[in-house]
Amino acid sequence: MGLKQSLHKMKMKYEGTKMAPAFNAIHTFLYLPNETTHGGTHIKVADDLKRTMNIVIMALVPCLLFGIFNAGYQYNVQTGAVDVAAGFLSPEFWNLDNFSIGAWKVLPLVIVSYGVGLLVEFIFAVIKGHEVEEGYLVTGMLVPLIVPVDIPLWMLAVAVVFGVVIGKEVFGGTGMNILNPALTIRAFLFFAYPTWMSGDKVWVTGAVDTVGQPDAISGETILGSLAQNNGFGDWSLMDQFLGFIPGSVGETSKLLIIVGALILILTKIGSWRIILSTLLGALSMGLIFNGVVEMGWIDESSKFFGLMDVVFWQHLFIGSILFGAVFMATDPVSASQTTKGKWIYGFLIGFISIMIRVFNPAYPEGVFLAILLMNVFAPTIDHYVVQGNVKKRAKRLKLKIA
């Protein structure tokens, strides 16, 4: 009670000044607003922006916790400290060293993401004189989950500043941006620092060549192996589904991503239409490539053969297409808003994602580029859907009058 009173006093002290938004943000983050309406009738609902953001974060937490474990586990596998053949029930599999190594690498990413991002939000709130917006709460959790575990913290900080300023604030802040801020951050990292975002040695901690690191560590992902026509390596289908494979911090466990999808769908925060249509688009493109291989239009000597030959449904088990469909494509601000538009928007994301994955062997993953591209076209899709509905209603009206 003492903390709440102290915050309220500080809020009253700075009311009307430029620092008021900062104190209001801290106060409303910890407690319900102490303001009430004085007139008129208002409909009260249980959800608000903070609760919505909190539910999304809760859906992401399992992916984060598993990502921490998997970061340490992949390192110990590569150094020989853990024997993969020992299985899930072996003591070495559940070695606390897996968690400690993963936490040492992943938690700083979370701290930098939130620290830098919220600082930029506070600065813009003070300069513009508006309330601090809660939109970055989810973005701050997404960013550490979609980057390699060894990305330098200063690079992440620079990218976060760019993503929040260019991808969000220049458009007017939360609810006004046309691009997903988290994917804007990832795109900046990919184009500004490509050697830290792609290749064989960025997905397992310690795999990047630095002084004192073992030379035997390899950080190649399944997509990287397939892009080189080397098959799936030693990773089984179960490994791919559960997530015991190299990759971005939070994108490997398909099981936990599905759990997160169910949370978003059941709470009606994420659009099941976008998720389903994205997966259908990916499966359709995968089927087309399988057909190309079966008809003999491409042989094993082609650099595209490895990924084209992947069974269409298995594309969902590798890479980040499932994570992108659930947590990125469903962004309510940058996605399509109309019902038919959501189907078109999601289908094209999945379709283009697999196309980029196959035709770009140097960086065999395209979901973030596909989502950013469709973010730009989402308003256009909605426009033509609305115009189509208007024309249909106009025709019905003419028929009725006639």
Tracing tokens 């939070």 back to the chain, one arrives at 250
Q: Could you tell me the mean pLDDT of each successive run of 10 residues in the chain, 402 residues long?
A: 65 62 59 56 59 88 94 86 70 80 94 92 76 77 92 94 86 76 91 81 72 55 78 83 90 95 93 96 95 87 85 91 94 90 96 91 78 94 92 81 68
C-alpha pair distances (Å), 306 with each of 97, 225, 288, 316:
35, 8, 14, 16
Element at 156 (helix H, strand E): helix 153-167
Asked whether 109 and 249 are in contact (CB, 8 A), the reply is yes
Q: What residue spans define the domains of the chain?
A: 50-269, 270-402
SS3 12: helix
Question: pLDDT of 227-253, one tens digit each?
Answer: 777 778 778 889 899 999 888 999 999
pLDDT at site 137: 85
SS3 249: coil
Element at 114 (helix H, strand E): helix 96-128
Which tokens go with 150? 């060894």
Tell how many helices (H) and how many strands (E) occur in the chain. 15, 0
